[in-house]
Structure 1
Amino acid sequence: MTAALFFAPDAYVLDGNQIMGRRVAGAVFLRAVVEGRGDDPVVGYSIGQQNMDSFRQAVRSIDPAAPTEWIRTGRHDLLAERGTLHRADPAICAEARLRLRTGSASFSLTGVTHTLSTSGTLDLIASYLSEPVMPWDALICTSAVAVDVVRATFDEAAAYLRWRFGGDLRLTLPQLPVIPLGVHGADWAVSDAARQAARQRLVIAEDEVAVLFSGRLSYAAKAHPFQMFEALRAAADRSDRPVRLLLAGQFFNKGIGEDFLSTARTYCPNVRCQHVDGEDAGLYAAAYAGADIFLSLADNIQETFGITPVEAMAAGLPVVVSDWNGYRDTVRDGIDGFRIPSRAPAPGAGDNVAHGYEILGNYDVYSSRTSTTVSVDMAVLVERLVTLIGDPELRRRMGAAGRQRVATEFDWRVIYPRYRELWEELGRIRTHQSAQAETAAWLASAPHAHHAHDDPFRRFASYPTRFLSTDTVLGAAPGAGRAAYEALTGRPIFAPWRIAPDLAERIIAAAGKGPASIADIARQVGLAPEAAIEPIARLVKMNLLLPEED
């Protein structure tokens, strides 16, 4: 059985939103869910008609015949039937709090890592230890390094909590499975005819070797470009064939774009640099189809996986990447391409960097400050580029190996079943552990709701003079009835809290038969006594019901 998807257009829909890695990941994941649904419907979960309509439209755009179901926020009984709620980000804590109302063992929660380097995300990950996140929940990590970061954050958060509250703490942690991001491999396959057409569109000469970098074009995020420019200049000096650099992606603004391209011309003047606008999907695809080599020297702590080398491998390109973060999980050195050794300051050297980020709160400055201290081995990089530029057979062989690796390891047809297997495994863990006597007793002692969302009439019980309870006796006010109720709720002053007029009429009539308790009135109109207090209290506010003096 597939999970329900916590749906927000920002996480899954590209149209009308800035193209970012997490949105692209969400969009291709949704496609994997739709195409891999089997006999199951595609199930969305969120609040509001607009989100529901957007969800159904997004699913229909992938497969008009795909059946959908929608679970309204708070219907945890329906989530329990589904078994799992999945988010496209790590933010499962709010749902874990809300789950308290139906029991923390009622269903599982899964989220997925993207950027882990912002203070907000690290705070969120650390809060797993103090929130009702359970062992039958999971934070899906896209790479081995993502697991390292999450575990280190858990360890530091646990040490902090023990320092604050003592050592005897029961800390429950989620599962941390590694499931990589994926691609729809067939979308990236390039025929000889498509390659020729792409090179013609980009005006790449037959003897030119086109080196592609794709992604966010920025000095502060993804990959600082200086060593890429320098290495291409050195490699071009040693090569017999002209070299073209394709910079495929988007600049934050026009000024940054102009400076970026000017910098490229300054540091690799012997390489023809060409911007390929990432907003133009056809042109962006042509860059992959027409290139000969893919190059990405990621150096930022923001990245946990890095999908662009996998896309390049799917397109049959040999890849040259920094030996950094998730690239280590995807690119096999000497087989699919080359990983270039990287260097960064040793642990303990960054306290001033962390302090500066804590004071200023400027993530772009923090990202730039760290990435500009990370370097790759230039001698190795230049040698690898010279080798690939001069050896078309090696490029072909590595490209074929990468394409095969994507088909067996990183295609969504392979990866999405791993999600479904995880959801089933979490169900087994939940069933087994919640049946253990000690765990069952511990779960039974949990609060009904998180303290931030407790009953306001309990939290602020010292405010009123008297209470309206199920024992409170009321009568109907003179002139009270359906017409008076509809007149009041027909205006904005009470319209948001309008109940069905016939129900209001029956409540007023029950009270009008003679003073009766709220419990008695509730029974007469078919409401649970506790649930009747709020609408009856509002009828008192409207001066349609009158409580007897205590």
Structure 2
Amino acid sequence: MNRIAAPELDIRASADEAAPPLERPMRITILQGAFLPVPALMGGAVEKVWHEMGRQFAAAGHTVTHVSRSHPSLPAEEVVDGVRYLRVPGSDTPRSLAWLKVLDLFYTLRARKALPAADILVTNTFWAPLLLAGARHLGALVVSVQRMPKGQMRWYRKAACWHTVSSAVRDAILAEVPGTEEKIRVIPNPLPESQGSGDDGRLGAKEKVLLYAGRLHPEKGIELFLDALRVEAVRSVLVREGWRIEIVGPWSAAEGGGGESWMDRLRKHAEGLSVTFTGPVHDPALLRDYYQRAAIFVYPSLARTGETFGVAPLEAMAQGAVPVVSDLECFRDFIRDGVNGRIVRVEGESGVADLAEVLQKLMVDADERTRLAQAALAVRTSHAPERVAAMFLKDFALLSTLAVKVSH
């Protein structure tokens, strides 16, 4: 099987890249969606990312307010690590997309009443860019585009800028709204916490574990993963060398999963294989333990119109697990096939066989796993939260200055 060529990508961070000098403290508001709280007690990659960014902004000397859905175990208002958290009644994620938009509208209207005056307002909600674009006292409006656009970007032209997480999303936005290059900024998702440097003994402590972590949903390619494990060349290695398969994540519809009936089918699909379904794991330390144990992280997503970055593969790489991912464009921003992971075409007639071939070769070649894992650890620097926060703050300072000039 031929390796897939990836674009050249410098994943090294320069040694002197840090938060910009604090010329003027900014007031930064982060407004998240209606369906998940912050901290990410119910999961949510976007919520994890902005939780960490808020903490980084506050540590750099800025005034940060973070607005999210309320939760029974969290107070309506608190200050933690210098960030002021405000929580507004929200909802569980419904199955109906139309009803989801209605619930998000009600939530945004409630959240609008809680928003303080600010210099920057960052939001990933559907309605906020429409309802808040003219409210200058709330700050320069920054739309965080963490999903592939589905026609809505043309309605967000009044925003100061659109931040997105990968070149794949940028290209999708430009296809939808041509001529908006100057409005788009590509800033990658960070790791959820600082990771330090070096392998800290992680690679020497690896177990023979194939891990998937993320939402359990048909679009994530988990059934295809199980099919690849049944290929004789892979199955014989599983049995002979004692490899285990761990599948971590929620399957309930309320948490973005495929639902109970689909999960029942998935369990039957896994019969005869050494598979453990753990359910959702939202505790960061416990999730990190799964990544640290795993030698190989498998993420064969089929979501060509949904996957935008892949926080889970990034987190796995930071703990020395070799990523094996599908050939979605979003993964190419931080994974090079044969350099710091493997990229496989999993769709089409040969998809299962191709994935099985890659897995079998990695499972029997410890030296190759170590080589790829050592290279994968570089994301601990390239995607360190301090570095990504510095990118945002540099952009926010420019937007804030422009907003002041416009107001005068």
TM-score, normalising length: structure 2: 0.72
Aligned to 2:396: 423
**What secondary structure, in the 3-state scheme, does the structure 1 residue paired with 2:248 have?**
strand
Query: Judging changes above 3 Å, is the alpha-carbon distance between structure 1 residues 272 and 67 closer, same or farther for their aligned structure 2 residues?
Result: closer
* 1:78-117 pair list within 5 angstroms: 79=117, 82-89=118-125, 91-99=128-136, 107-116=139-148
Give the corresponding residue for 2:311.
Answer: 307
Structure with a larger share of its residues in helix: 1
Question: Per the alignment, do residues 258 and 175 of structure 1 end up closer, same or farther by CA in structure 2, a change over 3 Å counting?
Answer: same
Report deviation, 1:94. Answer: 1.6
Shift of 1:423: 0.9
Q: 2: CA distance between counterparts of 1:274 and 1:46?
A: 33
Counterparts of 1:13 and 1:143, CA distance in 2: 24
Deviation per CA, 1:61-95: give whole Å up to 9, x if none: xx2xx27599x95899x84xx53222244642221
Q: Secondary structure at the match of 2:342?
A: strand
* Superposition map of 1:203-218 within 5 A: 209-218=208-217
Match of 2:381 in 1: 408
Conserved? CA contact 2:174–2:180, under 8 Å: no
Aligned to 1:181: 189
Change over 3 Å in CA distance of 1:190–1:288 after alignment to 2: farther
What residue in structure 2 maps to residue 503 of structure 1?
none
1:33 to 29, 52, 57: 57
- Superposition deviation, residue 385 in structure 1: 1.2
Give distance in 1, aligned partners of 2:261 and 2:295: 29
Percent identity between the two aligned chains: 19
Greater length-normalized contact order (CA 8 Å, ≥ 6 residues apart): 2
More strand by share: 2
Amino acid at match of 1:336: N
* CA offset digits 1:338-397 (Å, max 9, x no partner): 111355xxxxxxxxxxxxxxxxxxxxxxxxxxxxxx777444322221221011122122
| CA pair 230-47 structure 1, distance change in 2 beyond 3 A | closer
SS of equivalent to 1:96: coil
The residue that corresponds to 2:269 in the other structure is: 263
- Name the SS for the 2:135 alignment partner: helix
**CA deviation map 1:87-114 (0-9, x unaligned):** 2446422211333xx7xxx942112112
Mapped to 1, the partners of 2:400 and 2:40 lie a distance apart of 37
Indicate the SS of the match to 1:326: helix
How far did 1:251 drift?
1.4
The ranges of structure 1 where at least 4 consecutive aligned residues each deviate by more than 6 angstroms after the TM superposition are 45-48, 171-174, 187-190
Q: Which sections of structure 1, spanning at least 5 residues, go unmatched?
A: 156-170, 200-205, 344-373, 441-550
Closer, same or farther: CA 258–187 of 1 in aligned 2, 3 Å: farther
Distance in 1, Cα, partners of 2:282 & 2:85: 33
Larger Rg: 1
Instruction: Say whether the 8 Å CA contact 2:336–2:343 is kept in structure 1.
Output: yes
What is the match of residue 399 of structure 1? 373
Q: 1:285 aligns with which of 277, 284, 288?
A: 288
The offset of 1:11, in angstroms, is 7.2
* In structure 1, C-alpha distance between the alignment counterparts of 2:195 and 2:321, rounded to whole Å: 14
SS of the counterpart of 2:241? coil
| Corresponding residue number in structure 1 for 2:241 | 241
Residues 49-448 of structure 1: matches in 2 within 5 Å? 54=76, 56-57=77-78, 59-60=79-80, 63=81, 66=82, 68=84, 79=117, 82-89=118-125, 91-99=128-136, 107-116=139-148, 122-129=150-157, 133=158, 137-155=160-178, 175-183=183-191, 184-186=193-195, 192=201, 209-219=208-218, 221=219, 223-234=220-231, 235-237=233-235, 239=237, 240-252=240-252, 253-265=259-271, 269=272, 271-279=273-281, 281=283, 283-300=286-303, 301-341=305-345, 377-404=351-378, 406-430=379-403, 434=406
Aligned length: 345
Cα distance, 1:14 vs structure 2: 4.3
Query: 2: CA distance between counterparts of 1:292 and 1:273?
Result: 15
Amino acid at match of 2:152: L
CA 1:286–1:258 in structure 2 vs 1: closer, same or farther (change >3 Å)? farther
Structure 2: unaligned runs, 5 residues or longer? 1-24, 87-110, 253-258
1-side partners of 2:349 and 2:267: how far apart?
Answer: 21
- How large is the RMSD of aligned CA atoms in angstroms? 3.8
1:472-531, Cα deviation, whole Å (9 max, x unpaired):
xxxxxxxxxxxxxxxxxxxxxxxxxxxxxxxxxxxxxxxxxxxxxxxxxxxxxxxxxxxx
> Closer, same or farther in 2 for the Cα pair 1:188/1:335, shift >3 Å?
same
SS at match of 1:217: coil
Secondary structure at 1:336 match in 2: coil
